[in-house]
Structure 1
């Protein structure tokens, strides 16, 4: 059956701030304690969604999670009314208030791993929300993620939204940021590619400076619960040295789409064997495999991390042309800019480059690829998605006005102590669920 790829971008939440919570994410650490602009951040992401929808891509939106998370703070023993709880936490454990207030769920590449119905054992689209055990501020997301996905992809005949994997370090799962899929056509059977940083039970090289977040065991468990065939699944280890250079997820060093892998030459351990396995398994599905490998002499790992060249979206337009969506920072790095000019003027599989201003997200370590969850859907499945989440002119106008009405244009880490921020966020989210027609999605609505 004919299918296409839809991108579901996370709408930036009202508490977008720079608390420097993500050790191993260079941008997050470098911008710790600086002042954020939640309104600008949300509008930057929304404009990207709208422009891609205007180009003919299927573009959906996922709502923010409620922040600060009063559930987390109460589970950790803080009591009293909400203003009292926030004041106590701000005084006694400010790091917990920062974690509870993080808007990191905006990076929906970490929301889940998705396998399309053409690949799975039961012919349904499978979602596994990521447990994100490596960071407290992210580990609190998966329950709300599951609820949101089950609301948007509600038809049990078409979709299966699993629970997250058990929250243990041995099964550390960071979602689609470490997963991609290759295929001849979106609706055809494909090869799913899982990249991990370490294995709990297999000996091998590990990073020394920053932790590896994704385990082999988690990747294998997701593949098994989705019912993926062994002859159409490939596992690869991320190079430990690039993790130590700030490549905390594979999508900071590689991106794939259909029959193309765009990556840095230092992305994978044993890269030649990885390419050969992908090429061989795709050949059995009558699909070719193209690798665009960027040499370290052309673009260093440091350049890749600072510009987020590989944290881009590689998309196939309705006319079959392939486009690379990159952040503005790629224009500002001379070596990356020069490389992209060569891409645009060459005869390779990438036909065009689109540049977006996502500075508010980039300062926290998230580029275009971080903001979206890829979901391959055939026509019947697409018709079963909650209709209110697809971006068009009308929804864009409503969301733009909603952001303008509810979001602050300045938020410093110290502002998280303001109890009015919770009230403002809840008011905004309550209105958002009506705009998106998602019902009572949040705890405070129930």
Structure 2
């Protein structure tokens, strides 16, 4: 069936801040407690959405989550009014207060794993909210993620939204950041590739030594079962433990795929040759030939890949049969990466265009273009059945820019998290946003 891919970008929230909470994410950790600019962050993200929508790519958004997370703070014993809770947390547990104010839901690649209707046994598009249980600041996100997804994909004849897997180490699930769909075209059956960092129930399996492996094999298998995926078209590949220890906390920091193209670093997988062989054999079954674009360490080191987020890019299919690579501005500022990319677009391979964006606010917090988006391939009927208020249009863009200008600060310091006025500002902004998007029950304030 004919299908179109929509990218659902996370709309950056009014309390965007740099708390440095994500051990293993080098960019996030290196900018801890710096002042942020929520207004600029949101406007940078909106500019990206607008530009891609104007090019004809399917573009929509996922709304921010409510902050601070008072449920987290009250669940660990902070009591009294909201102002009391913030004051006590700021004094007794400032790191936990920062967790409650985490900006990480903006990276919707971690919101869920998505299997389009062409891949599922029941012919519906399936979503499983990611439990993100490796980090306290992310472990509460799945409730609102599922709520938002159900509000957008509410038609149960077309969509199924599953709650998160059990929140235990055995089922650590980081969503689409470790999931890639490879196919002939978006509407045809695909090979779904799950990349995992460790195996919970095999003590002999290799694992990183410095940084945590956040995705487990068991979680990936659980999502595949929930989505009703065919065993013949599902491939599980282990991420290279050594690159996790170099700051590659998700697979989408070292590889990205689209259509039949897999753009990856030669150190991405624990068993490169075996992984590619699995993919080729599985793709034979869906009538597609794998186009593997391998980036050698000699051309781009892992350190340069992490610093520039070369692979945390978007591969987008164009009408001419070629693909555009959406990259952060940092790729053009890294000499090795810039040189490689110029050669890539001139090579005659699938990628013939680079589109770059200034996403500095997101990049400083540890997420690039691919982190900001959740990919959802939809048939025409499915696209018509989802909530239309989140689809990016020129009119919505201007409405949201005005909303950001009204509600967002242009500087947020770490000490501001203790200010009760900030919590009130966020709540007021999100109430206004739910009205703009036509989703009155989006938040459970």
| Rounded Cα–Cα distance in structure 2 between residues aligned with 1:427 and 1:316 | 38
Aligned to 1:161: 161
Is this contact kept in 2: 1:191–1:232, CA < 8 A? yes
1:107 aligned onto 2:107: yes
Secondary structure class of the residue paired with 1:181: strand
Aligned to 2:417: 416
- Give the drift of 1:397: 0.3
Where in structure 2 are the equivalents of 1:50-65 lying within 5 Å? 50-65=50-65
Is this contact kept in 1: 2:327–2:356, CA < 8 A? yes
Aligned to 1:18: 18
Give the TM-score taking structure 1 as reference length. Answer: 0.99
| Rounded Cα–Cα distance in structure 2 between residues aligned with 1:352 and 1:58 | 18
Aligned residues: CA RMSD: 0.7
Is this contact kept in 2: 1:55–1:317, CA < 8 A? no
1:196 aligned onto 2:159: no
Aligned to 2:403: 402
| Rounded Cα–Cα distance in structure 1 between residues aligned with 2:377 and 2:360 | 28
| Rounded Cα–Cα distance in structure 2 between residues aligned with 1:412 and 1:26 | 21
User: Gapped runs of 5+ residues in structure 1?
Assistant: none
Aligned to 2:4: 4
| Rounded Cα–Cα distance in structure 2 between residues aligned with 1:108 and 1:176 | 8
| Rounded Cα–Cα distance in structure 1 between residues aligned with 2:158 and 2:346 | 42
| Rounded Cα–Cα distance in structure 1 between residues aligned with 2:135 and 2:88 | 22
1:172 aligned onto 2:156: no
- Give the drift of 1:319: 3.4
Give the TM-score taking structure 2 as reference length. Answer: 0.99
Is this contact kept in 2: 1:57–1:318, CA < 8 A? no
Is this contact kept in 2: 1:298–1:339, CA < 8 A? yes
Runs of 4+ in 1 over 3 A off after TM superposition: none
- The C-alpha deviation readout for 1:152-199, integer Å capped at 9, x for no partner, is 000000000001000000100000000010010111101000000000
Aligned to 2:291: 290
Aligned to 1:247: 248
- Give the drift of 1:285: 1.4
Aligned to 1:432: 433
Aligned to 1:367: 368
| Rounded Cα–Cα distance in structure 2 between residues aligned with 1:123 and 1:77 | 45
Is this contact kept in 1: 2:233–2:285, CA < 8 A? no
Where in structure 2 are the equivalents of 1:29-48 lying within 5 Å? 29-48=29-48
- Give the drift of 1:283: 1.1
Is this contact kept in 2: 1:20–1:28, CA < 8 A? yes
1:150 aligned onto 2:150: yes
| Rounded Cα–Cα distance in structure 2 between residues aligned with 1:122 and 1:440 | 29
Aligned to 2:222: 221
| Rounded Cα–Cα distance in structure 2 between residues aligned with 1:317 and 1:401 | 31
- Give the drift of 1:30: 0.5
Where in structure 2 are the equivalents of 1:229-308 lying within 5 Å? 229-308=230-309
- Give the drift of 1:75: 1.3
- Give the drift of 1:286: 1.1
